[in-house]
Chain A
Amino acid sequence: MDVRALLLVGGGTKSGHEDNIGGIPIAYLDVLGLPIVERVLQRLRRFGVCAATLISERARPEWFGLHARLNADMPYVHAQEGAFWQTAENTFNQYAEGGAELVIAVRIGPYAEVDYEELIQHHLDHRCPVTMAVDSEGASLDIFVLNASRRNDAASLFRNELQKLRTECKSFCAPGYVNRLNTAADLRCLALDALLHKNSISPVGREIKPGIWVAKSARIHRKARVVAPAFIGAYSNVRAAALITRSTVIEHHAEVDCGTVVEDSTVLPYTYVGAGLDVMHSVVGLRRLSHLVRNVEVEISDRKLVGMPAVNVVSRLAGSTAALFAFLPKQIYRGFFAPHHECSADITESLGQQAAALKIPATEAPDSGPETPEFPSNLAVVRRYGEQ
């Protein structure tokens, strides 16, 4: 049987949630080394779908080098603004003319592990023009099977933005794993469930120790500590004294700098996490941090905290080279002009000495600053301590 698929990314959401992070649709973000859209396509292929087309509201995505990472066999159609559903309808018609018998339309949207074989069988058994997949609570999963010959039903479905069927049909209840992927918390939940084997997503990488997956060319400093379960993506870099713990996911080309603790978090691709930070219960990347416990998204413009290296290899290389050449002059400058830090004295000597604050009263100190009427400095000095 000729079964083909339409993968739809965009077209608004029924629930009104923003299904994107930092302007990037969640469908394009990576989960354990592969974009979600790619994982959905792989699942469809496993069930015998012979061709698929990705229809997106955005131009061919450049984020995270995604265009190079999506399956080359999958045609990409950029829908013009306001013509998303029209494009889907046109592509459906092309499939019908090309000899397809059934077309599966999947909006991502929710991530659902549907048994497509059972879905198709259900569709054929009930002889419906359109079959909708629903979860155990009866909510739509935005997955539909359409007879290629029933163009009017397909047109009606797409024109109603997958919200309404032309004719009443018996829905297919999919009992498998479902994640709505509305927010960053859902993305984190999907990765966490994958690490805990609650869904069928498998990390792309080698399991170097039980529960620790490392993808190709990832660098982990020997003084860094990784606690299972964890995933370290391709070309990522975990520097010295960093701690990766509690089901943390570091996606590809991410960098965790020295001494940073990443706990129960997802670091998105091409994200630099600065040195000495505590990243907890968060999804961090795209110059923002979504804190899942506080339920707040914070934009972080400071590159020392959360940065985003260039996606382009040449730009990254140029930046690294410039940083390397700037390092030596900067250190020389610091050596000559930086303020001298006094070494802390021995503790036993310090205990015997009088505290600096007691040596000169604040009123006599040259740097005591201007006196303010609402905060007179001469009053408190008279009785500095109770015993005096």
Chain B
Amino acid sequence: MESSKRPVVVKRMPEKMNLKQARDFFKEVQPFLNSDRPQIVFDMSRVRHIDAAGVDVLLACMRTIVRRDGDLKLAALSPQAAVVLELTRTGRLFEIYDTSGAAVKSFSSFLPNAIKHFYPHPAHEALSMVSPEVFVGDDEDQERPDRAA
């Protein structure tokens, strides 16, 4: 099955994500957020300090992207970022990958990893048979099952 051909933008986040840096970062990524059905990966490997403003920007990005029917994924979380995301309960809102490559690759796969985890391979077919309109779409562009749900 062919995957989506839309580009995936990988953006590396700065080391500090306090109020000022978070604002600058948001301005920087806004053109990508406002495009149609954006597919964006934030690489958080360099993040050492992130506060409530940084988390707020992540949520704002997520909100903008979801409105435009796109997806935002996080990759390579530094321990500091992981702790703050867990602390603020925002980690569970994002798909998180170990590397940016894995996050980019996940956009091109038919089923998101979360679904793959819950439905091992033989069940994929059974699942698609139950609701074929959810999973089977155009060659280039397929409806995401999690969003349809």
Contacts and interface: CB of A to CB of B under 8 A. Distances in A.
Say whether A associates with B: yes
Interface of A: 276-280, 289, 291, 294, 296, 298-302, 304-305, 356-357, 361-363, 367-372, 374-375, 377, 379-381, 383-387
Given A294-B83, A304-B52, A370-B31, 17 more contacts: A276-B89, A277-B87, A277-B89, A280-B86, A291-B86, A298-B80, A298-B84, A300-B84, A301-B51, A302-B52, A357-B67, A367-B34, A368-B35, A375-B38, A386-B138, A386-B141, A386-B143
Contact of A386 (B6, B88, B142): B142
A357 B86 contact: no
B37 interface: yes
Contacts of B69: 357, 384
B79 A385 contact: no
The 5 nearest A-B residue pairs measured at CB = A386-B138, A369-B34, A386-B137, A302-B51, A362-B36
User: Which of B38, B68, B86 has the most chain A CB atoms closer than 10 A to its own CB?
Assistant: B86
Given A294-B82, A305-B51, A375 B32 contact: yes
A95 B121 CA distance: 77
A302 B88 CA distance: 12
A368 B34 contact: yes
B7 interface: yes
Nearest to B7: A375
Contacts of A294: 79, 82-83
B9 interface: yes
Contacts of B53: 302
Interface in B13-51: 18, 30-38, 49, 51
16 contacts: A277-B89, A278-B87, A279-B87, A280-B86, A296-B83, A299-B49, A302-B51, A304-B51, A305-B52, A369-B33, A370-B31, A371-B35, A375-B9, A384-B69, A386-B137, A387-B137
Given A380-B6, A386-B137, A298 B79 contact: yes
